[in-house]
Amino acid sequence: MTTMKENKSVKEGETNLVMNNITIGSFELLELLEGAITHADKGKNALRALNSVQLLGGAGHLVARATDRYRLIEGKIAGEGHLDHTLIALDDIKRVIEVAKANKLTRVSLNRIGDLLTVSTNGNSLTLTVLSENYPNTFNDLFSKGEVTALDTIAFNPAFFSDYSKIVGKGVQVKVTFNGENKPITIGLVGDKVEWRALLMPMRFKD
């Protein structure tokens, strides 16, 4: 099923119908979501809004975003259609991953109606509840800061780098760019089907 929402037009009485449905490849969706969940907050005191993945689609792409406040990541794959900003709990994202694993090399449809997202593929469907929590909207601002003078010394949690190998594979190079004091570190990841952007927040040295 494809649903549409009405957007008010400039001219009174006119409406612009926008599909709230997007179709993507199952294999690409699997790589996208498995990479994104590495950066979702999994701590015991995690905020519900950060123990999640945000999806949004349009302009020929589906984007997934995740952050645990120390890192953030954004992945993009090809997609046909449109999907409003949709926040899905981490446990439900893992259910979508299992569906994608079981139906590789097929097409997956994400169809949103109100606060429900239905994932359909190969005759099977899964319906999830969209979270209502506010999600950070500073992704583009952080990525657009640009590079400045590199630092000689910086601190970060080395355990975070193990997640990058899960995304791009062991033995694959990861480019690290230091953007200045107290600025996010840019992480260069090259995926198979996904176009990635990632940042790692610097940590303070402890005496």
pLDDT per residue, tens digit, the chain (207 aa), is 444 444 433 334 443 444 699 999 999 999 999 999 999 999 989 999 999 999 999 999 999 999 998 889 999 999 999 999 999 999 999 999 999 999 888 999 999 999 999 999 988 899 999 999 998 887 777 777 645 555 556 677 777 888 888 898 877 888 888 887 778 888 989 888 899 999 988 776 565
CATH of the domain at 44: 3.10.150.10
Per-residue three-class SS string for 78-119: ECEECEEEEEEEHHHHHHHHHHHHHCCCCEEEEEEECCEEEE
pLDDT score at 10: 34
Is residue 97 in a domain?
Answer: yes
Closest CA to 178 of 156, 139, 140, 147: 147
Is residue 10 in a domain?
Answer: no
Secondary structure element (H or E) that encloses residue 166, with its range: helix 160-168
Is residue 113 in a domain?
Answer: yes
pLDDT score at 207: 54
pLDDT score at 8: 38
The model carries a pTM of 0.72
pLDDT score at 124: 87
Is residue 1 in a domain?
Answer: no
Is residue 103 in a domain?
Answer: yes
pLDDT score at 184: 85
Is residue 116 in a domain?
Answer: yes
Is residue 3 in a domain?
Answer: no
pLDDT score at 5: 45
Residue 27's domain comprises 15-131+139-200
Residue 146's Cβ-side half-sphere holds a number of Cα atoms within 13 Å equal to: 1
Are the C-beta atoms of residues 39 and 68 closer than 8 Å to each other? yes
Is residue 43 in a domain?
Answer: yes
**Domains of the chain: total:** 1
